[in-house]
């Protein structure tokens, strides 16, 4: 973790743990009501960041800037400010441009580079009174699901440091789970918010694609990418969503029951190969929903569903990277070219780009295959998933966010699930469809495996119905005990 100043106190102050347990909305309310100061809260989180620095969840934290912003927030509060996030520090994935902090995209080539402007989402957070706590570690160029970064270190899972935290928003998920920050901005292309949320035991929200602004965020695929958020409650996610989208809609309802709610689940597509603990918790979750008054119905999305969704996701993911990254670097005045980044990537990622991303690569997606994915396959996926909500009248689609818990770091590239060897891309098997169709999806923690690793439940909603999804997710969340803080 790079840092511009010495740590704020070597020993945790009394009450730091209590402050760190505050969620985003609770911390904002406590600061607004004068129960705590932003300066005291921020200092406690900074001490916690140092205490858990071995997780490698941050690349950069400027402590003096955090404390200065906190001091200013306290002055603003005394002057009458009621900004939604006044004085609350928030983590930011290092794929977001930040005017006052270096933005590396996770690669050595950009080490120390500071952009001239904030990404639009970062600007929204600052305008709402939030403080950028630091830049979260991530997989290089957001290309990966396990949290490995050759330059800035492997991010570790707070529930067991021998395991991966998920990726590519790896540091975001780990820092929220470890109570270093109450929330962190992430990015999701095929599951890069929802996978780390599931594996690290936090809430992760992927909005409807295109709903959140994307300017100033390093891309992978213009068709699949979306910004989003990781936090420790659905209420906190909903508050950030309301601010970022400038949505003046009413807050989430106070209902806690699920009377009248209708859920679909498709075990043939989402549970064909699954860890035993994950399967047990998921089936138990379905029973809880039914006990709370919901209707839960098994459906089948088609024999070709997995092949269809993977063909869409990976065709767009691989084919759009070069053009998207090149355009982003140019538009945002980053002092490097696409090839400058490519030539300095870690060997395994450079090999993948050389094979799949560069037009000269043997695995480069043909124009015909790419156009078919966009104009034929994607509309079919959107039609098939859309029918769940429009024709069948379901409120949401449920499934285990990841079909396995977090694998060991030493087995991050290849691991075993239910006796079968799988590659790391298997972690995104269930999250890929919502990305391909552009649907909103949210992962909430529903328990721990027998080995103490988090398990996530994903709830996908209809396109554009994000607030309805968040309200439903809050009601589902209320049925489950909050996960204990990592030891």
Q: Any idea which architecture 2-477 has in CATH?
A: Alpha-Beta Complex (3.90)
Residues annotated catalytic, as ranges = 93, 168, 192
Question: What pLDDT was estimated at residue 487?
Answer: 86
Average pLDDT estimate for 11-40: 92
Question: What pLDDT was estimated at residue 252?
Answer: 73
pLDDT in tens, 351-378: 999 999 999 999 999 999 999 999 999 9
Question: What pLDDT was estimated at residue 154?
Answer: 98
Question: What pLDDT was estimated at residue 2?
Answer: 57
pLDDT at residue 394 above 50?
yes
Average pLDDT estimate for 391-411: 97
Cα 196–chain centre separation: 6
Q: What's the mean per-residue pLDDT of the chain?
A: 96
pLDDT at residue 453 above 80?
yes
Confidence of residue 115 (pLDDT cuts 50, 70, 90): very high
pLDDT in tens, 220-242: 999 999 999 999 999 999 999 99
pLDDT in tens, 117-146: 999 999 999 999 999 999 999 999 999 999
pLDDT in tens, 266-320: 999 999 999 999 999 999 999 999 999 999 999 999 999 999 999 999 999 999 9
pLDDT at residue 92 above 90?
yes
Confidence of residue 339 (pLDDT cuts 50, 70, 90): very high
Convert 114-144 to b/e letters by CB count within 10 Å (16 or more is b).
ebeebbbbbbbbbebbbbbbbbbbbbbbbbb
pLDDT at residue 7 above 80?
no
Question: What pLDDT was estimated at residue 5?
Answer: 46
Question: What pLDDT was estimated at residue 10?
Answer: 46
């Amino acid at each position: 973790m790079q840092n511009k100043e010495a740590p704020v106190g070597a020993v945790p102050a009394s009450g730091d743990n209590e402050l760190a347990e505050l969620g985003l909305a609770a911390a904002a309310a406590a600061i607004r009501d004068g129960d705590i100061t932003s300066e005291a809260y921020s200092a406690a989180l900074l001490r916690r960041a140092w205490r858990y620095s071995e997780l490698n969840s941050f690349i950069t934290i400027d402590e003096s800037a955090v404390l200065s912003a906190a001091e200013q927030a306290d002055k603003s509060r005394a002057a009458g400010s009621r900004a939604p996030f006044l004085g609350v520090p928030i983590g930011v994935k290092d794929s977001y441009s930040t005017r006052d902090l270096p933005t590396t995209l996770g690669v050595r080539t950009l080490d120390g580079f500071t952009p001239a402007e904030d990404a639009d989402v970062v600007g929204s957070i600052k305008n709402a009174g939030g403080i950028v706590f630091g830049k979260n570690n991530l997989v290089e160029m957001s290309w990966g699901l396990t949290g490995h970064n050759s330059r800035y270190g492997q991010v570790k899972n707070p529930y067991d440091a021998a395991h991966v935290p998920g990726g590519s928003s790896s540091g975001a998920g780990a820092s929220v789970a470890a109570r270093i920050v109450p929330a962190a901005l992430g990015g999701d292309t095929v599951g890069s918010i929802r996978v780390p949320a599931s594996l690290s035991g936090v809430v992760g929200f992927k909005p409807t694609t295109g709903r959140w602004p994307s300017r100033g965020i390093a891309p992978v695929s213009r068709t699949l990418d979306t910004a989003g958020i990781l936090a420790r409650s659905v209420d906190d996610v909903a508050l950030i969503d309301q601010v970022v989208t400038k949505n003046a809609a009413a807050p989430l309802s106070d209902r806690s029951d699920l009377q009248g709610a209708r859920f679909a689940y498709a075990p043939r597509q989402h549970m064909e190969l699954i860890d035993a603990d994950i399967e047990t918790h998921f089936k138990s979750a379905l029973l809880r929903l039914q006990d709370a008054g919901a209707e839960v119905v098994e459906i089948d999305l088609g024999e070709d569903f997995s092949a269809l969704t993977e063909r869409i996701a990976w065709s767009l993911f691989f084919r759009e990277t070069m053009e998207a990254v090149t355009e982003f670097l140019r538009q945002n005045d980053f002092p490097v070219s696409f090839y400058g980044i490519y030539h300095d990537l870690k060997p395994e990622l450079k090999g993948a780009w050389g094979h799949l991303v560069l037009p000269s690569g043997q695995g480069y997606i043909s124009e015909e295959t790419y156009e078919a994915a966009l104009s034929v396959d994607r509309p079919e996926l959107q039609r098939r998933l859309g029918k769940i909500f429009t024709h069948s009248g379901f409120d949401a689609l449920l499934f285990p966010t990841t079909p396995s818990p977090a694998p060991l770091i030493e087995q991050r590239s290849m691991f075993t699930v239910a006796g079968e060897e799988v590659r790391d891309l298997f972690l995104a098997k269930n999250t890929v469809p919502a990305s391909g169709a552009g649907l909103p999806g949210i992962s909430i923690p529903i328990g721990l495996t027998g080995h103490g690793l988090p398990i996530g439940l994903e709830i996908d909603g209809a396109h554009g119905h994000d607030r309805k999804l968040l309200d439903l997710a809050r009601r589902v969340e209320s049925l489950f005990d909050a996960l204990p803080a990592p030891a």
